[in-house]
């Protein structure tokens, strides 16, 4: 199964491009395309993106402090 990852800074057109690619493969090549968005995952988790990021940052810092 092919995988396409789209990354970039905020408001750079990632979602728009993902929808264009989805349309291309579904319309022209009769393929099923699934878009998995970080925003959808975070919204369904019931928390905020910054809280998740800060939690990961704290874990990394604790790991760094423990092993240095």
- Give the DSSP per-residue string, the chain: --------STTSSHHHHHHHHHHHHHHHH--------HHHHHHHHTS-HHHHHHHHHHHHHHHHHHH-
The pLDDT of residue 1:
72
* Residues spanned by the domain of 49: 14-67
The pLDDT of residue 5:
87
- pLDDT tens sequence across 26-41: 999 898 998 888 777 7
Does residue 9 have a pLDDT over 90? no
The pLDDT of residue 68:
44
Count of domains forming the chain: 1
Q: In this structure, is residue 7 part of a structural domain?
A: no
- Rounded CA-CA distance 15/12 in Å is 9
Does residue 17 have a pLDDT over 90? yes
Hey, how many other C-beta atoms are within 10 angstroms of the C-beta on 6? 14
Does residue 63 have a pLDDT over 80? no
- Rounded CA-CA distance 35/21 in Å is 10
Q: In this structure, is residue 8 part of a structural domain?
A: no
């Amino acid at each position: 199964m092919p995988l396409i990852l789209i990354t970039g800074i905020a408001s750079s057109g990632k979602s728009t491009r993902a929808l264009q690619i989805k349309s291309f493969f579904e319309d022209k090549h009769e393929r099923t395309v699934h878009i998995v968005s970080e925003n959808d995952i975070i919204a369904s988790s019931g928390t905020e993106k910054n809280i998740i990021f800060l939690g990961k940052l704290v874990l990394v810092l604790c790991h760094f402090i423990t092993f240095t």
